[in-house]
Amino acid sequence: MTRSQQSRAYWLVPCALVGALLTTVPRLSRGADDPREWLEKMNKALATRNYDGTFFHLSGGRVETMRIVHRVRAGRVTERLQSLDGSGREFVRANGELTCYLPDQHTVLVEPRQDRGPFLGSLPQFDASVSNFYRIEALPATHILGRPARVIAVNPKDQFRFGYRLWLDEKTAMPLKTQLCDSRGQVIEQIFFARLDMPENIPDGDLAPTVRTVGMRWVRQGPSSDNASAALAAYRASQLPPGFRLTIQGAQTLGGATALASHLVYSDGVATVSVFVEEQPATAPGAAAAPDAQPEPPLQGLARVGSGYAFSTIVQGHQVTAVGEVPAQTVEFIAHSVKIYSGGELPRH
């Protein structure tokens, strides 16, 4: 959860050359050592294989131990991500829903979620536009967990996005280690697998939540809608960092609220930033019926969230929050550029 920086000038020329090569070399001519081929192998492994692993999650000098269980059966993905030593939090995705158990907050969040993409994630296909902003390269092979591994770097070309370094198992293409890096290559977050099994079958019991939910508050995030109110739908980012564009716009209720929030998704093809626009709530969620309920103060400023940041501000009486797995300046840039387009003229990006 961190960071940003200036790209180095000496990167620019080689990056431009490599980027140009990547975009012009036909897919069929890629060799077995092509780093993009390995990224695609990783995508396939993460999406189609069964796996059960325990990994260390390191961020900012902090270490958490987590377990991931991923099963694909008859084309349907069931998945569980569990903190083993910290909060006791747990995510389970099954039957078209993602359920987030937060025992430390006595809360269970539930959201409709299609069975797409694994928790561990996969990288999108790298087309020409993505290559304009990231440089993909193969680093010298090494060993990890006692196994030969390919090392692939996805380097951002500017300070508006993070990059990755991936240690992929030579045999299975599973990422045994991943690092999230800023534009200078400084590591922000990393994951080491200490154990990774890829069994043919995973029993249901390994995918069942272990958190006791008695007494916990269940909050169901509303399904996404294509339409926000006219007022909310008129909000857009007026300017974006290079390469980002609007990819999804919709609306949904958040955290048990009754009113819809506008949800805009901006992406450069690898990183994504969500912008939420909503009415400033009169009272804190769940406190509406209380006679002495106090108005909830607006969110303002920067907060670290996961491997990225959120930046909140107020625009013409509405709460605007940009959140994404990007450097602080990217969410801040986008949030500050949000404005209302009252004349029906929306920006093209």
Partner 1 sequence: MSEQIREQVSAFLDGELPNTETELLLKRLTRDGELRESFGRYALIGEALRGAGSQILTRGFAARVNLAIDGEPAQAPGHAHQARASRWWRPLAGVTVAAGVATVAIVALQQRAISPGLRVASAPTAQNASVPGGGGTREALSYTVPVRSADVPAARSPARLTNYVFAHSKYSLGLGQRGVLADLLIEDDEPQPAPIQGVAQPSLTPDVRVAP
Could you say which residues in the range 9-68 bind partner 1, by CB under 8 A?
Answer: 43, 50, 52, 54, 56-67
When asked if residue 294 is in the footprint of partner 1 (CB under 8 A), the reply is no
- Among 88, 153, 147, which Cα is nearest to 126's? 153
- What is the C-alpha to C-alpha distance for residues 43 and 268, in angstroms, rounded to an integer? 18
DSSP 212-244: --TTPEEEEPPPPBS---HHHHTEEES---TT-
Least Cβ distance, residue 340 to partner 1 (angstroms): 12
Tell me the C-alpha distance between 189 and 176, whole Å.
14
Select the span of 29-37, 226-234, 286-294, 326-334 touching partner 1 (CB under 8 A): 326-334
Q: Give the integer Cα–Cα distance in Å for 108 and 256.
A: 11
Residues 304-323 interacting with partner 1 (rule: CB under 8 A): 304-310, 321, 323
Told to check if 122 binds partner 1 by CB under 8 A, we report yes
Q: 77 vs 120, which CB is nearer to partner 1?
A: 120
247: left (phi over 0), alpha (psi -120 to 50) or beta: alpha
Cα 184 from Cα 18, distance rounded (Å): 18
Among 18, 41, 336, 340, the residue binding partner 1 under the rule CB under 8 A is: 336
Q: Which residues inside 203-222 make contact with partner 1, applying CB under 8 A?
A: 210-212, 219, 221
- CA-to-CA distance for 244 and 329, rounded, in angstroms? 14
Number of residues lying near partner 1 (CB under 8 A):
148
At residue 42, what is the residue type? M
CB of 241 to partner 1, least distance (A): 7
Q: Which of 16, 33, 104, 203 binds partner 1 (CB under 8 A)?
A: 104
Footprint (CB under 8 A) of partner 1, residues 187-206 = 187-192, 194-201
CB-wise, 62 or 76, nearer to partner 1?
62
Residue 22 or 152: the one with the smaller Cβ distance to partner 1 is: 152
Non-local (6+) Cβ contacts of 136 within 8 A are 18, 22, 35, 36, 39, 126, 152, 153, 154, 155
Q: How many other CB atoms sit within 10 Å of the CB of residue 344?
A: 7
Binder of partner 1 out of 36, 156, 277, 332 (CB under 8 A): 332
CB of 338 to partner 1, least distance (A): 11
Q: Is 226 in the site for partner 1 (CB under 8 A)?
A: no
